[in-house]
Amino acid sequence: MNPHFNLSLPIAIGCDHAGVDYKIAIKNYLQQKGYVVNDFGTNTKDSVDYPDYAHAVANSVESNLVAFGILLCGSANGVCITANKHQQVRAGLAWNNDVAKLIRQHNNANIICLPARFIALPLALEMIDNFITTAFEGGRHENRVNKIACC
């Protein structure tokens, strides 16, 4: 497993209606830093079904079309549960910087899920920076990560 993301690939981002404002801000932030961002929606605050957007991001991660994914919804639980149905996805729910780092270091997460209704935008941006720059440690964690997928 690659300990670092291939940042020559785009970054996938998606959300439901609760995460639209954060998604737009995060996308702009990443683009200003020079990253290409594939936006899988939604782009409206009208109620939508979060699995539609979580599956789109997870499919792009699973197909190696992007470096990693970012998912947002109110609590981040729905998008995290949905994304983790994909065998090659390890989505982690982060609510502080330590967790954002640990889901990379110990779990080799390839999608970060953020609870838009429970964190401030500056913290979300910090967590994304930490997620991007933290490498998977491998070692004792690699054997555990290799046991996650069901097939």
pLDDT band at 149 (very low <50, low <70, confident <90, very high): confident
In a domain, 4, yes or no: no
Q: Is residue 140 part of a domain?
A: yes
pLDDT digits (tens, 9 = 90+) for 5-25: 999 999 999 999 999 999 999
Is 92 within the bounds of a domain? yes
Question: Residue 117: inside a domain, yes or no?
Answer: yes
Closest Cα partner for 128 from 3, 2, 5, 1? 5
Comparing 25 with 137, the larger pLDDT belongs to 25
- Is the pLDDT confidence value at 122 over 60? yes
**Residue 118 within any structural domain of the chain:** yes
pLDDT at 1: 53
Tally of structural domains, the chain: 1
Burial class (CB in 10 A: 0-12, 13-18, 19+), 29: middle
- Give residue 136's domain range: 11-146
Q: Is residue 16 part of a domain?
A: yes
What's the pLDDT at 92? Answer: 98
More confident residue, 3 or 4: 4
CATH code for the domain in which residue 76 is found: 3.40.1400.10
| 40 within a domain of the structure (yes/no) | yes
Residue 76 confidence (pLDDT) above 80:
yes
Say yes or no to pLDDT of 66 above 70: yes
Predicted local confidence at residue 11, as pLDDT: 98
Residue 24: CB atoms within 10 Å = 14
pTM, entire model: 0.96
Mean pLDDT value across the chain: 95
Catalytic machinery residues: 73, 106
